[in-house]
Amino acid sequence: MGSLRNHWNALSEKHAEVCDRSLLSLFDDPDRAATFTAQTGDMLFDYSKTNIDQDTLTALTALLDAAGVAQKRDAMFAGQAINDTEGRAVLHTALRNLDGGPVIVDGQDVIPGVRATLQRMRDYANVVRNSAITDVVNIGIGGSDLGPAMAVAALAPYHDGPRCHFVSNVDGAHVADTLRNLDAKTTLVIVASKTFTTIETMTNARTARAWMMDHGGDPSAQFAALSTADDLTADFGIPAERVFGFEDWVGGRYSMWGPIGLSLMIAIGPKAFDAFLRGGQAMDQHFQAAEWHENLPALLALVGIWHAQVCGYSSRAVLPYDQRLARLPDYFQQLEMESNGKSVQMGGASVEVDSGPIVWGAAGTNGQHAFYQLLHQGTRVVLCEFMVAAEGHEPELEHHHKLLIANCLAQSEALMRGRSLDEARARMEKAGFEGNELDRQARHRVFAGNRPSTTLIYPKLDPFTLGQIVALYEHRVFVEGVVLGINSFDQWGVELGKELATSLQPVIDGTASADGKDGSTAQLVEFVLRHRG
Ligand code: F6P
């Protein structure tokens, strides 16, 4: 794909033209809310509280066409090796292709294998759910942890299996604090690692195995593995019947739909897990069929691109008004930042614009009492992505849910509307201030407003809806990556730190010297050695 420079220039010119106008004034058009909203099934995405107008949308969709997004999308679903720095297909969509046609990779239909593994997972999940197992510990990190950990919390109302715990950090505190209160005789440990070489996961897995042996459990019966590396799982001593494999065409951060989702399946049961897959599949079908201006993943991507690459707002906040989605910002952080935090395009040239944004966030309303101050009055503009369900799971606490929704809607309104100096002065006058003090007090109470936000709203957070949300964001990241011209499916940027950690390990052990290290690193090593005696 050639340079998109002309498209970027046109968008920059458009931005310069409209950047000072009031978002609120856009609603003088009575159709604005409906025009800048898209829906799939019962899920609605409202991006009308942004500065995007019809011209901008046209220019943005032209960018998708110029970047060849539709062709790339079709190539991905068809199993072509679009991860071209690693020479692999990208087929997490095959894991939720419950009733679609064949998908051919290297001349072979992968769907029968996917379905056979899914059936093995269902059978095993049922065995565990009907056994004496009380606790499941998933040991994994990154994509082998964040997805199932997020989803188990999100779907707590559907959780009728054993308790689930997630250990990821190599900090011994994590595994120790988790295992301390568990009964080794009734605990199942799932070692989740695509490569089965990740140092954090393998260190935690060995510690958990030793703990189980020391406390009367039987690792030969109470360990399962989720991995692409059969030989390594066998070396670890996990029998093949408890190894759930997947292929290298499933990227780590896209893997919760298959074996990496086993802890979720054990928690909520195979039927609810199927509903989760169906939600993902429904979003796949929507992404493949809908026109760009009605296509939720494409629109989320375009809203993202407009704010990050055109307006230059480098940060994006994910703000679910749902306590059970508290881990969703972490999950989206890996999805977006590990996928699109890159400065080199597929062909080796530098990325023409800023790379993917910084993604962060927290559940509302908690965030309101922590960082929303900056969102409303800080000097930086942050694109805020709200999400909320019309209905909660606690009918007896409906008044809580109504308050939650009111807060969510109020925040996006406040970000857009702001409060002028005149309005602030009027308030302060009423409060009895006058003269210079009135001016000073008023200035502190001004909200610039005009801050963009989007809202994703759906009836209820059930397994199907969660599947839709996760697939929606996966495809959004994909579209953004295609437009940036990068490979969203590799992660070379994590390698250097891993290599240096390996070389530093003997230095920290005191078995190798810090010679050759920079002064700062050597000084820190010396501090550690001195204080550890
Ligand atoms: O941090 C890099 C990474 O490779 C992630 O992409 C991945 O999700 C994580 O490590 C865990 O990898 P694995 O599943 O192979 O243990």
Write the DSSP string, 158-176.
Answer: G--SSEEEEE--SSHHHHH
At 228 the pLDDT is 92
Beta strands in 12-68 (DSSP E): 37-40, 43-46
Over residues 77-91, the mean pLDDT reads 96
Residues lining ligand 1, Cβ inside 6 A: 141-144, 193-195, 198, 201, 252-253, 338, 491, 494
Residue 134: pLDDT over 60: yes
Give 422 Cα–ligand 1 centroid separation in angstroms.
53
Q: What are residue 223's DSSP bridge partners? A: 189
At 1 the pLDDT is 53
pLDDT confidence of 100, banded at 50, 70, 90? Answer: confident
DSSP of 180-230: TTS-GGGEEEEEE-SSS--HHHHHHHHHHHHHHHHTT--HHHHEEEEES-H
Atom 16 (ligand 1): residue with closest C-alpha?
A: 193
How far apart are the C-alpha atoms of 404 and 391, rounded to whole Å? 10
Q: Is 455 helix (H, G, I), strand (E, B) or coil?
A: strand
Angle between helices 463-484 and 69-78 (to 10 degrees): 120
Residue 370: pLDDT over 90: yes
Q: State the chain's mean pLDDT as an integer.
A: 97
Convert the pLDDT of each residue in 374-388 to its tens digit. 999 999 999 999 999
At 73 the pLDDT is 98
Q: Is 45 helix (H, G, I), strand (E, B) or coil?
A: strand
Q: Kindly tell me the burial class for residue 131, based on how many C-beta atoms sit within 10 Å of its own C-beta (0-12, 13-18, 19 or more).
A: exposed
pLDDT confidence of 99, banded at 50, 70, 90? Answer: confident
Give 238 Cα–ligand 1 centroid separation in angstroms.
20
How far apart are the C-alpha atoms of 34 and 286, rounded to whole Å? 19
Q: Is 360 helix (H, G, I), strand (E, B) or coil?
A: strand
φ, ψ for residue 163, nearest 5 deg:
-65, 150
How far apart are the C-alpha atoms of 163 and 452, rounded to whole Å? 40
How far apart are the C-alpha atoms of 57 and 63, rounded to whole Å? 10
Catalytic residues: 338, 369, 498
3-state secondary structure 275-294: HHHHHHHHHHHHHHHCCHHH
Residue 101: pLDDT over 80: yes
Question: 271, 155, 245, 131: which is closest to 191 by C-alpha?
Answer: 245
Question: 183, 155, 401: which is closest to 279 by C-alpha?
Answer: 155
How far apart are the C-alpha atoms of 395 and 460, rounded to whole Å? 12
Q: Is 135 helix (H, G, I), strand (E, B) or coil?
A: strand
CB 386 within 8 A of CB 412: yes
Percent with pLDDT over 90 in the chain: 98
Convert the pLDDT of each residue in 29-56 to its tens digit. 999 999 999 999 999 999 999 999 999 9
- Token pair, residue 516, equals 């050759």
How far apart are the C-alpha atoms of 67 and 72, rounded to whole Å? 9
Residue type, 47: Y
At 387 the pLDDT is 98
Convert the pLDDT of each residue in 397-430 to its tens digit. 999 999 999 999 999 999 999 999 999 999 999 9
Torsion of CA 243, 249, 253, 257, to 10 degrees: -60
At 2 the pLDDT is 64
252 CA: nearest ligand 1 atom: 8
Question: CB under 8 Å to 398, separation ≥6 — which residues?
Answer: 392
How far apart are the C-alpha atoms of 36 and 44, rounded to whole Å? 11
- Token pair, residue 301, equals 């991507």
Over residues 363-372, the mean pLDDT reads 97
Check residue 79 and report its DSSP letter: T
Question: CB under 8 Å to 155, separation ≥6 — which residues?
Answer: 264, 267, 268, 272, 276, 324, 461, 462, 463, 466
φ, ψ for residue 499, nearest 5 deg:
-60, -45
pLDDT confidence of 533, banded at 50, 70, 90? Answer: confident
Q: Give the predicted TM-score (pTM) of the model.
A: 0.97
Give 142 Cα–ligand 1 centroid separation in angstroms.
5
144 CA: nearest ligand 1 atom: 14
Give 65 Cα–ligand 1 centroid separation in angstroms.
32
Residue type, 43: M
Residue 276: pLDDT over 70: yes
227 CA: nearest ligand 1 atom: 14
Q: Tokens 């070389």 — which residue?
A: 503
Residue 224: pLDDT over 90: yes
How far apart are the C-alpha atoms of 93 and 393, rounded to whole Å? 29
Convert the pLDDT of each residue in 449-462 to its tens digit. 999 999 999 999 99
Best mutation site among 491, 492, 495, 496 for ligand 1 pocket (most ligand atoms within 8 Å of CB): 491
